[in-house]
Amino acid sequence: MIANNVIKACIFDLDGVIVDTAHYHFLAWKRLANELGIDLTIEDNERLKGVSRLDSLEIILNLRGISLPTEEKERLANKKNSWFVDYVLRMSPDEIFPGVKQLIHELKKQNIKIGLASSSKNAKTVIHLLQIENEFDAIVDGTMIRYSKPDPEIFILAASKLGVEPQHCLVFEDAEAGVEAALAAGMKCVGIGSANQLGKADIVISKTGEFNIATLQQLSTV
């Protein structure tokens, strides 16, 4: 019988976990916010991580209590996205964070399934540019979900595509909303970033490439 907590699948967020596209999102949102006369700080930006495009815009507008008609919000969100895509299209495969590809290969050697769960509608473009689309056994992106993180929908869907029960899944997340979503899905979670921000995760490390099989085994026994 397999113990309840053995990890059989690892599900990776993309932006900020596999590659520093989280920074490109920040630059594009900051540029849009500046056009609206809003100063978007790094602290404010933490709340945008993992959250859908339109929900992110809503958070920014709420900083100044601005309310706008739906069409205007869609126009602004599209504008931000075109700047983001400009950054992304200049990316090369060597922008993948150090050690991430090796980690995925190590996990596969342990018969761990590999999933991607990104709220981004650009996720497939990004993994194609990084030349890693064939590394995943299942991919869920922002076009396939109804509710954005912190809702657990994206991780539940990824687990079901992988054919692994949530309790046997380990999520890698850099966003507070993403950690909450993973825990709400009944999964374990590795926070990538600062313990202040991601303290609810089972463990927090500063970079994805620092994770190793020994840590995986520890998480499988707690």
Residues belonging to the active site: 13, 15
DSSP output for 35-54: HTT----HHHHHTTTTS-HH
Binding flag, residue 30, ligand BG6 (CB under 6 A): no
**Which of 30, 49 has the CB closer to ligand BG6?**
49
Among 15, 46, 135, 173, binds ligand BG6 (CB under 6 A): 15
Which of Mg ion, ligand BG6, none does residue 48 bind (CB under 5 to 8 Å by kind)?
ligand BG6
Binding flag, residue 48, ligand BG6 (CB under 6 A): yes
Distance CA 29, CA 60 (A): 9
**Smallest distance from the beta carbon of 52 to ligand BG6, in angstroms?**
5
**Which of 125, 167 has the CB closer to ligand BG6?**
125
**Smallest distance from the beta carbon of 221 to ligand BG6, in angstroms?**
31
Residue 62, C-beta contacts closer than 8 angstroms, at least 6 positions apart: none
Which of Mg ion, ligand BG6, none does residue 99 bind (CB under 5 to 8 Å by kind)?
none
SS3 content of the chain, % helix, strand, coil (to 5): 50, 15, 40
Q: How many residues bind Mg ion (CB under 5 A)?
A: 5
Binding flag, residue 118, ligand BG6 (CB under 6 A): yes
Distance CA 189, CA 205 (A): 11
Q: How many residues bind ligand BG6 (CB under 6 A)?
A: 19
**Strand runs (DSSP E) across 106-200, as ranges?**
113-117, 138-140, 169-173, 188-192
In the complex, the residues that contact Mg ion under the rule CB under 5 A are 13, 15-16, 174-175
In the complex, the residues that contact ligand BG6 under the rule CB under 6 A are 14-15, 22, 25, 48-53, 56, 81, 118-122, 142, 175
